[in-house]
């Protein structure tokens, strides 16, 4: 009798596994079945919001369902991530830069999720161009000149930096070059560029788009784009590597992430629509205008880019003697 029950249980388990395997392609074929909700870690007029709204109409065409964009700023990106994970719904997707979550395990105690396990890559669409800039009237014309100036004037340079990934990278740069500079905390980092232009602070590192206005008026000097090569949106500005400071590379990727149980076939189906939308020249031009040059990536390529950023954060944490809190 017990052997029969055991055989029945084994058969049931095997059948369930087979049904699960078969369900994924069918589930993917039918996805989406209703409105798709994109949850962002930033509010209106942010780079992510601009990109999401550029893409939403095209995605509605390719996915065949309405696409709703909802910003849930605050909590260092945790509010938006929780919104996606708590929903446990393939139609609720995180949209934002990798910088919104890659440093969470190093800066938050008792983190309720693991970003490497609980967020699954779907597709990438653009690079967020981060830049480092100085007050033009200060004197240094290059990043090397600025580092030399800062070393010759300890504790006389104040700076503003975007929180999260950018700040993590910046702190690694400061430690590596043994700089003694003073942080000015900002509730809203978009306040830093005007202060930089007026000389209230002397250095800033954040999205290039946020500093463009002050650069165009000639009040600030962008010393480098924090990437491995020159940006198409700032062709006359050296990359961090060209400037001689590869440790300053901070190029978050803007993309879509699903919850941990979103199957690979469903993610691939979603990615197919995203990559089709990214062929629209109006979307590419709009992303470029917002300081986010297009960089379409499917599931595997985006997953590799996300993994690379987690590895970069781990290297910097080791340099800074910061232990992973989870």
The three-point CA angle 165-166-168 to 5° equals: 65
Please say whether the beta carbons of 211 and 129 come within 8 A: no
- Model-level pTM greater than 0.85? no
CATH of 31-127+252-319, one of 3.40.50.300, 3.40.190.150, 3.10.310.30, 3.30.1330.10: 3.40.190.150
Nearest-angstrom CA–CA distance, 271 and 266: 9
Q: Domain spans of the chain?
A: 31-127+252-319, 130-248
From 50, 99, 38, select the one nearest 283 (Cα to Cα): 50
- CATH class of the 130-248 domain in this structure: alpha beta
* Predicted local confidence at residue 174, as pLDDT: 95
Measured in whole angstroms, how far is the alpha carbon of residue 224 from the centre of its chain? Answer: 19
- What is residue 24's predicted lDDT score, i.e. its pLDDT? 57
Contact (Cβ atoms closer than 8 angstroms) between residue 252 and residue 130: yes
Angle between helices 264-277 and 47-63 (to 10 degrees): 100
The residues facing 316 across adjacent strands are: none
Tokens 């440093």, residue located: 103
**Distance (Å, whole) CA 247 – CA 257:** 27
Q: Give the pLDDT score at 225.
A: 95
pLDDT in tens, the chain (326 residues): 435 444 544 544 444 444 444 445 666 788 999 999 999 998 887 888 999 999 999 999 999 999 999 999 888 889 999 999 999 999 999 999 999 999 999 989 889 999 999 999 999 999 989 999 999 999 999 999 999 999 999 999 999 998 889 999 999 999 999 999 999 998 778 889 999 999 999 999 998 888 888 999 999 999 999 999 999 889 999 999 999 999 999 989 999 999 999 999 999 999 999 999 999 999 999 999 888 999 999 999 999 999 999 999 999 999 899 999 86
| Radius of gyration, alpha carbons of the chain | 22
Q: Output the pLDDT for position 291.
A: 83
- Which residues of 54-163 form beta strands (DSSP E)? 67-71, 92-97, 119-127, 130-135, 158-161
Q: Do domains 31-127+252-319 and 130-248 have the same CATH topology?
A: yes
Edge-first strand listing for the sheet containing 158-161:
182-183, 158-161, 203-207, 130-135, 220-225
**242 within 8 A of 224, measured Cβ to Cβ:** yes
Q: Give the DSSP per-residue string, 255-273.
A: EEEEETT--HHHHHHHHHH
* Spatial distance between the Cα atoms of 276 and 321, rounded to a whole number of angstroms: 43
| Separation between Cα atoms, residue 248 and residue 240, nearest integer Å | 6
Q: Judge contact between 140 and 134, C-beta under 8 A.
A: yes
Q: What is the DSSP letter of 185?
A: -
């Amino acid at each position: 009798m017990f052997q029969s029950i055991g055989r029945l249980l084994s058969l049931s388990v095997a059948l369930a596994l087979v049904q699960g395997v078969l369900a994924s392609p069918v589930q993917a074929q039918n996805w989406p079945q209703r409105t798709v909700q994109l949850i962002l870690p930033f509010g209106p007029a942010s780079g992510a919001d601009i990109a999401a709204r550029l893409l939403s109409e095209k995605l509605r065409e390719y996915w065949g369902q309405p696409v709703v964009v909802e910003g849930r700023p605050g909590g260092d990106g945790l509010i938006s991530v929780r919104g996606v994970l708590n929903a446990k719904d393939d139609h609720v997707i995180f949209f934002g830069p990798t910088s919104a979550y890659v440093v969470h395990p190093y800066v938050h105690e008792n983190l309720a999720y693991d970003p490497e396990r609980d967020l699954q890559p779907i597709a990438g669409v653009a690079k967020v161009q981060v830049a480092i800039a100085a007050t033009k009237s200060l004197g240094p014309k290059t990043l090397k000149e600025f580092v030399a100036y800062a070393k010759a004037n300890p504790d006389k340079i104040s700076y503003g930096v975007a929180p999260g990934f950018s700040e993590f990278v910046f702190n690694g740069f400061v430690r590596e070059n043994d700089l003694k500079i003073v942080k000015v905390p900002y509730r809203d980092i978009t306040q830093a560029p005007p202060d930089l232009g007026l000389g209230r602070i002397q250095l800033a590192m954040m999205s290039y788009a946020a500093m463009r206005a002050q650069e165009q008026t000639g009040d600030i000097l962008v010393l480098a784009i924090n990437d491995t090569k020159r940006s198409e949106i700032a062709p006359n500005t050296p990359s961090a590597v060209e400037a001689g400071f590869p440790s300053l590379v901070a190029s978050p990727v803007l993309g879509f992430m699903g919850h941990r149980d979103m199957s690979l076939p469903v993610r691939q189906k979603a990615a197919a629509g995203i990559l089709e939308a990214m062929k629209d020249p109006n979307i590419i031009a709009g992303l470029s205008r917002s300081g986010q040059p297009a960089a379409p990536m499917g599931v595997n390529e985006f997953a590799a880019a996300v993994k690379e950023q987690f590895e970069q954060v781990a290297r910097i944490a080791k340099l800074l003697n910061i232990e992973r809190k989870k």
